[in-house]
Amino acid sequence: MWLFVVLGLAALGGPAFGADEPVVEVLGSRVSSMEDLPAMVHRVTSDDIRRSGARNLQEVLDLLPGVNGLVSGAGMAQSKGISVRGMTTEVLLLVDGVPFMTSSYGTGAVLGAPFDLRTVPLSSIERVEVLKGASSALYGSHGLGGVINVVTRKGAAPAGFSLTGGSDGYLSGTVWASGGDRVTATVRYSREEEGQRRIRRRTNGLYDRSDDYRANHYGLDLKGDGWTFKASLGDYSSRWTYDGDLNRQENDYGRYVLELPVPGDLSLKAYYGSNFKRVFDSSGRSEYQDSNLGLALDGRGKWGSNLLAYGIELRRDSSDSRNFENPFGNNDPYDLKRDGLSLYGETSFPLGELTGLLGLRYERWDVERGDDYSELNPKVSLSYEDPSGRLWYLSAGRAFVMPSFFQIYMPMRSWGIPNYQLRPEKGWSYEAGVRSAAGWSFNLFYTDLDDRIAYQSDPITWIGQYVNLERYRAYGVEAEWVLRLSEGLTYRQGLSWAYGEERASGQWTRSGDPRWKSVSTLEWTRGPWRASVTGRFYGDRAIRDNTNHYSEEDIFLVDLNLSRSLGEMELTLGGRNVFGREFFVDRSGYVTPERTWYLTLSGRI
């Protein structure tokens, strides 16, 4: 692995991952373009995704420094989540600038994902923008570890397709078509299937397996004279064995966004999102229905010579949980909601040779059967562009994370009790770094969080509840660069080191994420041919509460891709974890995905 790093340190230059795309729509600042943002940012285009060989958004994000996509959430159902700088519930997911988060989650890598990345199929993605650090001043709750914004595709050609077949019964297919005159319409459909694979090794050496996975995704985009409408909906299901018993989960989701122009350089955005999950396991049948409904009015203009952005947003989050046929006694049902009002503004202004950026957001939340919240979140940054085009920056931002309805109410009465006084997490994030127009970047960060939410239980009765810990902090360094070794031969490197720890009852405990993360890619192109090898390294690991003494050895996985252009089509042969290495990733015995091979044919019609 270190050979990859040494090669990359030999020289710096060339555009970074996806750096040839000059425009940003919403991420990071409402008044600045992405190349001017005083922060650690990543842009991954649809071409980057295609070249990477990733099969889902979790695998795409796992290629970035400071992002961990090793552990899937929701236990054996394997929902796709990530952690950023050791934080999971503190990460915000946007789709076309609109937050889509659930309220039925707990904490930690397994239960703590407030979103499932399986609801965002790769076929719908034009690019992914990732902003590290506090962003509550711009987007509200959850934006402490970072913000992930998915920009969906717009019809660029009349029609297209993609077909993939692989090991473990993996099959996927996508078709899309667009057209129109005064109103442009794009429709998409994707289907995905996967057979049996290992996901957890028990202490007796036997495996729990995912028996199958099925998914359907539908999309409709309409674009008229100044207005747009986007709809994404779908369903997916999975079956798995746990200690020899067969379980299953069924999910339905939907996202709908209507954006209209308003006189006076304003835009009105209405959105609705829903997630419906049904779990069939040893606790009977559990149902979770989450939805969010919002209306936002945004404006842009100038205040003297300073750029200015401002807006107001109304939002309602609802959550409904029920449990049936539980042999231990049905969980207590709940049907709760919270209503939010947000006012926000941001301005960019010159300070001699420096540029200042100031953002401020006020939020008021009325929470049913819980404490109400009122938060004021600022963010300030200073940047300087030197004569060589390098951007130097400092920034500080405050963020907060509201508790979920699941955390407050804790419906599983057989092993938990509610906490109606559960407080939001609150903290600050500080950044200092430099970015080059040539594509390399270097960033230092420090995050300090009070009242972090965690689940604590009695070691004898196992009865517990979600509580506020005293404190969480994380600090580290992140870097990216590109090296052009020769004509047609390119080396890309992402590297991060982070240390996170939390304090409860006056004692500090290290978080479970690896301290080191390295992603190294060597890519070769010649004529219609392209090949790449990627090494993913996770080092200095510590599995939390490792009572079963699973190995904490460093993880190194290798992926390969070989493709050939066939005119308007492309044929790709790829493999992930090609050496078939198996590593434990947490205290429950979950393991890294086994070796997979696949063949993809894609093209435009």
State the DSSP string of 212-241: EEEEEEEEEEEE-SS-EEEEEEEEEEEEEE
- For β-strands 125-132 and 98-99, DSSP reports them as unpaired
What pLDDT, on a 0 to 100 scale, did the predictor assign at position 110?
46
Q: Which amino acid is at 147?
A: V
Q: Is 412 helix (H, G, I), strand (E, B) or coil?
A: coil
126: how many CB neighbours lie within 10 A of its CB? 16
Q: List CB contacts of 420: < 8 A, sequence separation 6 or more.
A: 369, 370, 371, 408
Contact 359, 378 (CB under 8 A): yes
Phi, psi for 508 (deg, rounded to 5): -90, 140
State the maximum Cα–Cα separation within the chain, in Å, rounded to a whole number: 70
CA distances from residue 503 to 470, 474, 500, 511 in whole angstroms, order as listed: 6, 12, 11, 10
Q: Model's pTM, two decimal places?
A: 0.89
Q: List CB contacts of 11: < 8 A, sequence separation 6 or more.
A: 483
Among candidate residues 421, 390, 402, the one with its CA nearest the CA of residue 363: 402
What pLDDT, on a 0 to 100 scale, did the predictor assign at position 5?
35
Q: Rounded CA gap, 427 and 400, in Å? A: 6
What pLDDT, on a 0 to 100 scale, did the predictor assign at position 115?
86
Contact 227, 207 (CB under 8 A): no
Torsion of CA 269, 275, 276, 281, to 10 degrees: -170
What pLDDT, on a 0 to 100 scale, did the predictor assign at position 140?
82
For the chain, give the number of residues.
605
Q: pLDDT tens for residues 170-210? A: 999 999 999 988 899 999 999 999 998 888 888 888 888 88
DSSP for 413-432? TTTB---TTPPPEEEEEEEE
* Both tokens assigned to 86: 């050791």
Low-confidence stretches of the chain (pLDDT beneath 70): 1-36, 71-78, 107-112, 155-157
What pLDDT, on a 0 to 100 scale, did the predictor assign at position 339?
96
**Domain definitions of the chain by residue range:** 34-604
Q: Which amino acid is at 223?
A: K
What pLDDT, on a 0 to 100 scale, did the predictor assign at position 222?
93
* Both tokens assigned to 500: 């996170």
* Both tokens assigned to 605: 């019609």
Q: 117: which DSSP letter?
A: G
Strand partners, 302: 307
Vertex 207: Cα angle to 599 and 582 (nearest 5) = 55
Phi, psi for 214 (deg, rounded to 5): -135, 140
Contact 484, 503 (CB under 8 A): no
What pLDDT, on a 0 to 100 scale, did the predictor assign at position 264?
81
* Both tokens assigned to 23: 């425009």
Class of the CATH-defined domain 34-604: mainly beta
Contact 352, 345 (CB under 8 A): no
605: how many CB neighbours lie within 10 A of its CB? 12
| Sheet strands (E) in 325-407 | 334-351, 354-367, 373-385, 391-401
Q: Rounded CA gap, 513 and 517, in Å? A: 10
Element (H, E) at 51: helix 46-52
Contact 128, 195 (CB under 8 A): no
Element (H, E) at 157: none
Q: pLDDT tens for residues 79-110? A: 788 889 888 888 899 998 888 888 888 765 44
What pLDDT, on a 0 to 100 scale, did the predictor assign at position 566?
94
Element (H, E) at 297: strand 284-303
What pLDDT, on a 0 to 100 scale, did the predictor assign at position 197?
86
Q: Rounded CA gap, 342 and 482, in Å? A: 40
203: how many CB neighbours lie within 10 A of its CB? 10
Q: pLDDT tens for residues 5-23? A: 333 333 333 334 444 433 3
What pLDDT, on a 0 to 100 scale, did the predictor assign at position 534?
97
Strand partners, 373: 365
Element (H, E) at 137: helix 136-139
Instruction: Please measure the distance between the N-terminal and C-terminal CA atoms of the chain and give it in whole angstroms.
Output: 41
CA distances from residue 343 to 296, 314, 317, 424 in whole angstroms, order as listed: 10, 9, 17, 19
Reading phi first (left if > 0) and then psi (alpha if -120 to 50, else beta), residue 580 is in: left
Q: Rounded CA gap, 139 and 127, in Å? A: 19
What pLDDT, on a 0 to 100 scale, did the predictor assign at position 544?
77
What pLDDT, on a 0 to 100 scale, did the predictor assign at position 13?
37
